[in-house]
């Protein structure tokens, strides 16, 4: 084997280069082959099953019908954007004309109030989940660090965390809705009430895994590293910054990834339940709409929800790889 | 010679579910400036506990430690510790690990360029200047321990405490590290307390060997003065009658006077070993 390669090398170096390229291609091919096969099998099963399911809204949508709906949703979005642009153009012209007649005229600018498209709903859901998630991180990580550092505080807070951790955030939803309605009463709201309700629900579900993972990460720091800090007499803040935080970054991120995954699932359900703008509302509206396209559109939404959830998780993993020193600890 | 460090009648008791466990009883030792003292004894005899009390990481139940006429009540950089498992911060490079210590100790008294020079000087001292900017997971066990020593030396401690610093290294690396340590010691003349399991290491490096009895209620059994000329050379000493005699003294103490009855079956011995290792790391 080795003799043949070395002979090849001497006589035909170009062939060797080609060989290597082929080897790389085949290894990439091998890695991709099985996922492709799996996906194809899934599509096949789906289309066969779909053809055999008759609902009151027609046949269950197969891959092709869903693909069509993706196209339709996209076209709808484009049409809506054109309408919006046309609306603003008309408004501007009108205001310019009136201002020319009457110099004292203060132009009224009205916002476009068309129906949100699928793409708009995706945007709304993403913004909501991210804001709720960051709000939770802002509270949970410092709290988790404090609990991890202090046995006493842990004893005090842990029962509460354990009590609220298993509660589905959807149970909170009615309470959150009422509290937000009662307390958020400004004549000129910066954000919509519905946004606030969804966001707080997301926060409520993100906070517990983050608190628990952060505190466990902090509490399980190698004792020798803590001793290093004690020998150096590092001040408390430096201790947290230089030792505690970096040491618990892997665990903190595990908590963040967990909670972002749960948050995305919960948000969709919350939007459906509360009729708050977002992908959940899109699904519910389509269900209520009950046209022959509805199931296809819902299926399209399901795929998009799954894909976005996957991207969010991958995104967190990338950030975790980037900030964490412990590369061995990061699994898929 | 005047006493720098006075370990005075230390008792150490640990609370356990079955009542208090006396680890140390009446341990007293006076150490002069520039002296290299090693503590030797069987596993679990409380060597690490003595070191941790001196470091201030443990509070003695009775008695106390006096350094330069002042009682030790908490850890501090003037009693720098070289830990058994290097204890470098894995997210920092060798340079940054030493820098953390230097900034904390000399942050007010040294300027930035002075600190940089001091960090590099200490890394050079342990022959780690070529890998200053590598992280702990990129260097070998021996190199990590060198950086750990550099970090401790960079604090300019009055007493350097070493808890089995070379215990986790292979024999060749260990010999190399011992030579390095002797070299550094000849240059800086530090006061050192080192814990070891290794009889040769104790005789080669120390001015005095403190031999501890088995626990519970361990205490100092015998103290052996090592009056071998410095610099010491391991090859020359291997044939030296005085060296051989000292070595056999320590061995006699450990295996005749303080013989520890270990179970003979390999499984039990292994579990015992891992048990003591856990104890040591917990301490």
Write out chain A residues lying below 8 Å of B90, CB-based.
Answer: 325-326
Closest Cα in chain A, distance from residue B51 (Å): 13
Write out chain B residues lying below 8 Å of A325, CB-based.
Answer: 90-91, 135
Cα separation, B84 vs B101, in Å, equals: 18
Give pLDDT tens digits for B121-148: 999 988 888 999 999 999 998 899 999 9
Predicted pLDDT of residue A143: 94
Write out chain A residues lying below 8 Å of B74, CB-based.
Answer: 230, 233
B85 in contact with chain A, both atoms CB, cutoff 8 A: yes
Q: Do B101 and A242 touch (CB under 8 A)?
A: no
- ipTM score: 0.84
Give pLDDT tens digits for A28-62: 888 888 889 999 999 999 999 998 888 888 889 99
Predicted pLDDT of residue B273: 46
B191 — pLDDT class (breaks 50, 70, 90): very high
What is the pTM for the complete model shown? 0.79
Which of B55, B90, B91 is closest, CB to CB, to A231? B55
Of A99-113, A205-219, B9-23, B269-283, the least confident:
B269-283
Say if residue B46's pLDDT is above 60.
Answer: yes
Q: Do A233 and B87 touch (CB under 8 A)?
A: no
Say if residue A102's pLDDT is above 60.
Answer: yes
Over chain B, what is the mean pLDDT? 87
Cα separation, B230 vs B243, in Å, equals: 13
Cα separation, A120 vs A113, in Å, equals: 13
- Give the nearest chain A residue to B136 (CA atoms): A325
Secondary structure (3-state) at A109? coil
Say if residue B209's pLDDT is above 90.
Answer: yes
Predicted pLDDT of residue B270: 47
Predicted pLDDT of residue A12: 56
Give pLDDT tens digits for B77-125: 999 999 988 899 999 999 999 999 999 999 999 999 999 999 999 999 8
Q: What is the DSSP letter of A239?
A: I
SS3 readout for chain B = CCEEEEEEEEEEEEEECCEEEEEEEEEEEEEECCCEEEEECCCCCCHHHHHHHHHCCCCCCEEEEEECCEECCCCCHHHCEECCCCCCCCCCCHHHHHHHHHHHHHCCCCCHHHHHHHHHHHHHHCCCHHHCCCCHHHCCHHHHHHHHHHHHHHCCCCCEEEECCCCCCCHHHHHHHHHHHHHHHHHHCCCEEEEECCHHHHHHHCCEEEEECCCCCECEEEEEECCCCCCCCHHHHCCCHHHHHHHHHHHHHHHHHCCCCCCCCHHHHHHHHHHHHHHHHHC
Say if residue B275's pLDDT is above 70.
Answer: no
Contact call for residues B35 and B206 (beta carbons, < 8 A) = no
Q: Which of B72, B83, B281 is the best residue to mutate to test the A interface, defined by the most A CB atoms within 10 Å of its own CB?
A: B83
Closest Cα in chain A, distance from residue B91 (Å): 5
Burial class (CB in 10 A: 0-12, 13-18, 19+), A169: buried
**Residues in CB range of B31: below 8 A, 6 or more apart:** B3, B4, B5, B6, B7, B37, B159, B191, B193
């Amino acid at each position: 084997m080795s003799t043949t390669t070395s002979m090849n090398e001497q006589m035909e170096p170009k062939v060797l280069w080609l060989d290597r390229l082929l080897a790389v291609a085949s290894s990439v091919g091998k890695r991709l082959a099985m996922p492709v096969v799996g996906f194809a099998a899934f599509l096949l099963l789906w289309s066969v099953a779909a053809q055999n399911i008759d609902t009151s809204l027609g046949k269950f949508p197969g891959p092709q019908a869903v693909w069509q709906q993706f196209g339709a949703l996209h076209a709808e979005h484009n049409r809506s954007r054109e309408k919006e642009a046309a609306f603003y153009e008309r408004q501007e012209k009108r205001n310019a004309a009136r201002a020319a007649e009457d110099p004292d005229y203060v132009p009224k600018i009205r916002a476009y109030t068309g129906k949100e498209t699928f793409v708009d709903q995706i945007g709304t859901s993403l913004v909501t989940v991210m804001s709720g998630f960051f709000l939770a991180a802002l509270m949970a990580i410092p709290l988790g660090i404090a609990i991890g550092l202090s046995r006493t505080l842990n004893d005090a807070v842990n029962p509460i965390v354990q009590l609220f951790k298993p509660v589905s955030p959807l149970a909170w939803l009615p309470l959150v809705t009422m509290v937000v309605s009662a307390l958020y009463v400004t004549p000129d709201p910066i954000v919509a009430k519905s946004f606030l309700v969804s966001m707080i629900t997301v926060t409520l579900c993100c906070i517990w895994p983050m608190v628990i993972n952060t505190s466990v990460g902090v509490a399980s720091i190698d004792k020798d590293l803590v001793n290093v800090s004690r020998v150096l007499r590092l001040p408390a803040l430096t201790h947290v910054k230089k030792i505690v935080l970096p040491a618990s970054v892997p665990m903190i991120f595990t908590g963040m990834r967990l909670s972002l995954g749960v948050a995305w699932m919960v948000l969709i359900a919350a939007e459906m339940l509360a009729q708050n703008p977002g992908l959940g509302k899109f699904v519910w509206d389509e269900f209520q709409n009950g046209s022959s396209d509805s199931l296809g559109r819902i299926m399209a939404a399901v795929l998009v929800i799954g894909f976005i959830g996957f991207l969010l998780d991958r995104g967190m993993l990338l950030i975790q790889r980037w900030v964490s020193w412990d590369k061995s600890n990061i699994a898929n | 010679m005047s006493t720098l460090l006075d370990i005075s009648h230390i008792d150490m008791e640990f609370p356990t579910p079955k009542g208090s466990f006396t680890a140390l009883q009446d341990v007293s030792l006076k150490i002069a400036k520039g002296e290299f003292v090693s503590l030797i004894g069987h596993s679990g005899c409380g060597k690490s506990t003595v070191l941790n009390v001196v470091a201030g990481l443990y509070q003695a139940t009775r008695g106390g430690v006096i350094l330069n006429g002042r009682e030790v009540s908490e850890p501090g950089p003037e009693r720098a510790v070289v830990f058994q498992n290097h204890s470098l911060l894995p997210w920092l490079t060798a340079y940054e690990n030493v820098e953390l210590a230097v900034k904390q100790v000399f942050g007010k008294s040294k300027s930035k360029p002075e600190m940089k020079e001091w960090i590099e000087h200490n890394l050079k001292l342990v022959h780690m200047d070529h890998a200053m900017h590598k992280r702990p997971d990129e260097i070998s066990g021996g190199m990590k321990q060198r950086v750990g020593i550099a970090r401790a030396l960079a604090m300019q401690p009055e007493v350097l405490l070493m808890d089995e610093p070379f215990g986790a290294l292979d024999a060749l690396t260990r010999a190399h590290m011992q030579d390095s340590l002797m070299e550094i010691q000849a240059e800086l003349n530090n006061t050192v307390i080192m814990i070891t399991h290794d009889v040769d290491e104790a005789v080669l490096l120390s001015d005095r060997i403190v031999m501890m009895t088995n626990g519970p209620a361990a205490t100092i059994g015998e103290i052996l003065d090592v009056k071998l000329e410095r610099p010491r050379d391991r090859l020359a000493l291997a044939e030296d009658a005085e060296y051989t005699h000292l070595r056999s003294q320590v061995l006699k103490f450990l295996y005749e006077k303080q013989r520890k009855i270990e179970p003979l079956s390999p499984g039990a011995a292994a579990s015992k070993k891992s048990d003591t290792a856990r104890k040591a790391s917990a301490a």
